[in-house]
Amino acid sequence: MEEVSTEEQIVTVLKEKFGGEILSIESPYNFLTVILRPEKIISIIKFLYDEEGYQYLTTLCGVHYPDQKSIVVMYQLHNLRQNKRLRLKIALPEDKPVVPTLTTVFPAANWMERETYDFFGVTFEGHPNLIRILNVEEMIIFPMRKEYPLEDQTREDKNDQMFGR
Amino acid sequence: MEQTTNTSALTDIPVQEEKQYSYLNLGPTHPATHGIFQNVLKMDGEIIVEATPTIGYIHRAFEKLAEHRPFYQITPITDRMNYCSSPINNMGWHMTVEKLLKIEIPKRVQYIRVIIMELSRISDHIICNTIIGQDVGATTGFLYLFQYRERIYEIFEEICGARLTTNIGRIGGMERNIPDKAWDKLDQWLIDFPVAFKEFSGLLERNRIFMDRTINCGSITAEKALSYSFSGPNLRAAGVDYDVRVMNPYSSYEEFDFIVPVGTQGDTYDRFMVRQQEMHESLKIIHQALEKLKKEPSDIYHADVPEYVLPPKEDVYNDMEALIYHFKNIMGETEIPKGEVYHAVEGGNGELGFYLISDGGRKPYRLHFRRPCFIFYQAYPEMIKGSMLSDAIITMSSMNVIAGELDS
């Protein structure tokens, strides 16, 4: 008999197992979101994968919060058997965002982490091939960080005063 | 005697047995890749030993752009992701914002959206399946069905004025009521398409040459597919019945009666057949939606939220309220609540997700697109390892990799 785990159950399990790691739990628009300390994130996801059936990585992305000087990495997992979704978030320091790679659990994380590195500069330790994926290799900035404006300010070939650049 | 001494002398020389590989650039602009992305193939004769995909050739920084646009101006950006089924992207985006705003959408609009989404799913699958035929050398099917894809675009043209990059619908509903001409064209298409589709199916589905060519070509197991976060027809071909329309219904999909076709092998033939069956199911859904529409009042085409829906032009000139809302809408001055929302729709290629963080400003604070192509394409080198070059080509076309969605 498989036990149907509701949202509360998974929260209780997480609190029991990793109580010290949880910073807060919220549920915006009925989407369970757990904010965690970054240190044990991979072992928590591994636990969710092995024991709780969250075996599908929906997506992974970064969000930059310059006010808090942090880069948040968001992992979104899906338990396909019970159709439960779960979002995990960790906040990394802006100047040295380092987190272990998730490719050890999900091969799908490979390109998602490369994309996050490409745009936010998050270093995923142990990643097999952490290079830029969508931008050119010569790029020296991480363009999705908030301090970079939409147009590349270092370009000299565009001098279009009319449009306020 | 002389000969034996000769051979013994030869065996003393160390023979260099280093294997020679050749490298082949498949792409970036190869006609068979149907999009701009590159694969550097390490080949042993005609066998692929290793593949290194390079992507990003048409990267247009949509996520950064979206942080600098009001919400309604992001719809045209979503068009350009999976441009084979842009209405689904548009609708997915509208529904994401509607979820954030907690807008209740009238049933009639939901059914209209279902019809438009299923039409574009069919057009997406037509492209993919006919291209598989094209790549194995069966051009006839391609020519048969493309006419009907063209006519789907004509229906879109009647509804929104555009064909490929549709920008169809608005946040809160549709931009205008569906004109009678679009309904007529849809009715005629629903009569004509199944005939041509049957012919196309007859050409390929049980065709021995086609089956020999595609069965066991580029297959992937269900476990692998799940660990690579496959979704959509590619995952279902591997045997996992994950369909967002069923798991997390949106736009009243829960009211419709349809089946989720699954394959067993996850090979090119299964992917082809899953898409074929899905086209039948989409036709079923369209018929059901047309039935349901008959019971709805025919003049409702958007929710009653003047803050987010552009008023008709004649009202703007004659009515002050409408003028105010027009101005506020265009300038993006409407109140958007703070929040964090994820909404997924079943796109042509799988789970198309929108992860939106709003800080209450006129633009999103962060918008992340979960693009199914980008995620499943990373399994491609593993799928083609050890196969022939021509198998790699049809594996790629049967996965329906769309460059726009890959690179965002």
d(CA A4, CA A81): 10
Quote the domain boundaries for residue B71: 50-407
Total of domains in chain B: 1
How confident is the model over B52-105, as pLDDT tens digits?
A: 998 888 898 899 988 888 888 899 999 988 888 899 999 999 999 999 999 999
Q: Which of B227, B342, B377 sits opposite A106 (nearest CB)?
A: B227
| Rg, Å, chain A Cα set | 18
Q: Does A70 touch chain B (CB under 8 A)?
A: no
Residue-level pLDDT at A99: 93
pLDDT class for B330, splitting at 50, 70, 90? confident
Look at residue B118 and tell me if it is in a domain. Answer: yes
pLDDT at A161 over 80: no
A154 pLDDT more than 60: yes
Does B34 map to a domain? no
Q: Give the three-class secondary structure for A60.
A: strand
Q: How confident is the model at residue B8 (pLDDT cuts 50, 70, 90)?
A: low
Smallest Cβ–Cβ distance between B374 and the set A55, A111, A143 belongs to: A111
- What is the H or E stretch that residue A14 is in? helix A7-18
| Closest chain A residue to B368, measured at CA | A61
Query: CA separation (Å) from B406 to B36, B370, B375?
Result: 10, 10, 8
Cβ neighbours of A132 in B, within 8 Å: 56
Encode pLDDT of B217-273 as tens digits: 888 999 999 999 999 999 999 999 999 999 999 999 999 999 999 999 889 999 999
Q: For residue range A67-93, what is the model confidence (pLDDT) as tens digits?
A: 999 999 999 999 988 888 999 999 999
pLDDT in tens, B268-316: 999 999 999 999 999 999 999 999 999 988 888 888 888 888 888 888 8
The two tokens of residue B313 are 């032009």
Neighboring chain B residues of A120 at a CB cutoff of 8 Å: none
Q: What is the largest CA-CA distance in chain B?
A: 113
Q: Would you call the peptide bond into B76 cis, given omega within 30 degrees of 0 as the criterion? A: no
Kindly report the pTM of this predicted structure: 0.89
Average pLDDT over residues B157-169: 90
B50: contact with A, CB 8 A cutoff:
no
Q: What is the pLDDT of residue A1?
A: 39
Whether residues A115 and B355 touch (CB distance < 8 A) is answered with no
In this structure, the strands spanning A56-65 and A33-36 are unpaired
Residue B30 resides in a domain: no
Q: Which residue of A has its CA nearest to B65?
A: A150
What is the pLDDT at residue B138?
A: 86
Q: pLDDT tens digit string along B332-357?
A: 777 788 999 999 999 888 999 999 99
Can you give the CATH number for the domain in which B234 is found?
A: 1.10.645.10
Contact B355 A80 (CB under 8 A): no
pLDDT at B176: 87
What ipTM did this prediction achieve?
0.88
Query: Which are the contacts of B199, defined by CB distance < 8 A and separation ≥ 6?
Result: B144
Q: Which positions in chain B touch A115 (Cβ < 8 Å)?
A: 374
B408:A61 CB<8 A: no
Within a domain: B36: no
Model confidence at B4: pLDDT above 80: no
**CB-CB: which of A107, A108, A133 is closest to B56?**
A133
| Distance (Å, whole) CA B192 – CA B148 | 8
Return the pLDDT at A28: 87
Which of B372, B102, B385 has the alpha carbon at shortest distance from B243? B372
Q: Where are the beta strands (DSSP E) in B7-117?
A: 22-26, 38-44, 47-54
Q: With contact defined as beta carbons under 8 Å apart, do B392 and B41 qualify?
A: yes
Is B386 part of a structural domain of the chain? yes
pLDDT at A12 over 50: yes
Give pLDDT, residue A164.
Answer: 44
Residue A165 has pLDDT above 50, yes or no: no
CB contacts of A61 in chain B (<8 Å) are 355, 368
Question: pLDDT higher for B126 or B18?
Answer: B126
User: Best mutation site among B37, B59, B60, B355 for testing chain A: the one with the most A CBs within 10 Å?
Assistant: B355
Is there a domain that residue B45 lies in?
no
Query: Would residue B4 count as lying in a domain?
Result: no
Question: In which element (H, E) is residue A75 found?
Answer: strand A70-79
Which residue in the block uniquely carries the two structure tokens 């629903």? B190
Contacts with A112 from chain B: Cβ below 8 Å = 375
Q: What is the pLDDT of residue B369?
A: 93
* pLDDT recorded at residue A2: 44
**Residue B77 within any structural domain of the chain:** yes
Residue numbers in A near B103 (CB within 8 A): none
Residue B99 to residue A85, Cβ atoms within 8 A: no
From B346, B356, B381, B290, select the one nearest B125 (Cα to Cα).
B346
pLDDT tens figures, B352-392: 999 999 998 888 999 999 999 999 999 999 999 989 988 98
pLDDT value at position A147?
87
**Contact call for B63 and A119, based on CB within 8 A:** yes
Residue B52 at interface with chain A, using a CB cutoff of 8 Å? no
Averaged pLDDT of chain B:
88
Please give the helix or strand (H or E) that residue B193 lies within, else none: helix B180-204
Q: Which domains does chain A have, with CATH numbers?
A: 7-152 (3.30.460.80)
How near does any CA of chain B get to the CA of A129, in Å? 12
**Chain B residue at shortest CA distance from A86:** B342
Q: Which amino acid is at B43?
A: M
Q: Is residue B3's pLDDT more than 80?
A: no
Q: Is A153 helix (H, G, I), strand (E, B) or coil?
A: coil
Contact state of A111 with B353 under an 8 Å Cβ cutoff: no
